[in-house]
Structure 1
Amino acid sequence: MFNTEKSEKPKTLTGTRLRSYAFALLTRRDYSQAELSNKLNQYAINPDEVAELVAELAQQNYQSDQRVAELTLASQLRKGKGLQRIKQALKAKELDEELITEELKEVDWSEQAYQLKIKKFGIDVAKDPKIKAKQIRFLQYRGFSMDAIMKAIARTSEEE
């Protein structure tokens, strides 16, 4: 009765139309090479042509995995995410492992956890175990390590 299979999109793009579509995608937002290839392969007739085009766009700096990693990291930090959640977001973009490590090593995770704790719970150090547990769960969910969490919840305002 109902067609439950995804209907295959017709693959029609080659040459200039494929290039135009790639530029149209990149003008909206930055894509990693893997994401851009996947997107273009949905419509392209020749996967080899897609690979060549993506490599050319990267070489000419229209597409940059470095830029994607930096923007993703900045965005995730603004959202109050910790190391594990950010690693997950970067891996989802299929970025190189070295690039991910390079981007993440410059961040002070204890400071990030502390700033998030202040924003959510204030500057007071919790004495009540229930409140401490709530803060720990909140920061764990955000992807912070236990080490960074313990430093953040024990830190007083005089230590700044």
Structure 2
Amino acid sequence: MFNTHKSDKPKTLTGQRLRSYAFALLTRRDYSQAELIERLNRYAANPEEVNDLVAELAQQNYQSDQRVAELTLASQIRKGKGLQRIKQALKSKQLDAELITDELREVDWLEQAYQLKIKKFGQEIAKDPKVKAKQIRFLQYRGFDMDVILKAIARTSEEE
């Protein structure tokens, strides 16, 4: 129905067609306000109308930055991502910094890092410096802070 790739076509969506396109986007996935405005402005004739529409959709809870933050956080944790990588993902969605901080405060990062370490390397605490370094690099790449990493790789199963 709608052309989803960039083209040289004139920006013509207004009124009900713009509203329909916004709903079509939101039925597929959740967008942050900034992402939705950006997507709609590709085809909208009037940027002011887009801003008003997105504000209205947010007020009616069809669009929610809070929901986007929660879903992104849950998805990133499922993928085994650490604090830094998740912050990056949330910032890329142009969410409010305070909202990001609130979402991240709830997570036990040490537990996340420890579970990931067990999944990849087992419960045994590495004595070999090369193995330790490999575990540290793995968790760093995933976005965990060094203090959390060092605690996670030194943690025993009795400490759970």
Structure 2: distance between partners of 1:139 and 1:55 = 39
Structure 1: distance between partners of 2:82 and 2:43 = 36
Structure 1 equivalent of residue 145 of structure 2 = 145
Structure 2: distance between partners of 1:18 and 1:27 = 14
TM-score, normalised to structure 2, is: 0.95
Structure 2: distance between partners of 1:74 and 1:150 = 24
CA positional deviation for 1:8? 3.2
Structure 1: distance between partners of 2:107 and 2:152 = 15
Q: Which amino acid aligns with 2:16?
A: T
Aligned residues of 1:125 and 1:155 also touching (Cα < 8 A): yes
SS of the residue corresponding to residue 73 of structure 1 reads helix
TM-score, normalised to structure 1, is: 0.95
Deviating 4+ runs (over 6 angstroms): none
Structure 2 equivalent of residue 114 of structure 1 = 114
Aligned residues of 1:9 and 1:42 also touching (Cα < 8 A): no
Structure 2 equivalent of residue 103 of structure 1 = 103
SS of the residue corresponding to residue 45 of structure 1 reads coil
Q: Which amino acid aligns with 1:81?
A: K
Structure 1: distance between partners of 2:149 and 2:9 = 47
Structure 1 equivalent of residue 75 of structure 2 = 75
CA positional deviation for 1:142? 0.2
Name the CA shift for 1:18/1:105 in 2 (closer, same or farther; >3 Å). Answer: same
The runs of 5 or more residues in structure 1 that have no matched partner are 1-5
Map residues 35-46 of structure 1 onto 2, 5 A cutoff: 35-46=35-46
SS of the residue corresponding to residue 37 of structure 2 reads helix
Percent identity of paired positions between Structure 1 and Structure 2: 85
SS of the residue corresponding to residue 53 of structure 2 reads helix
The runs of 5 or more residues in structure 2 that have no matched partner are 1-5
CA positional deviation for 1:112? 0.4
Q: Deviations over 1:68-111 (max 9, x none)?
A: 00000000000000000000000000000000000000101011
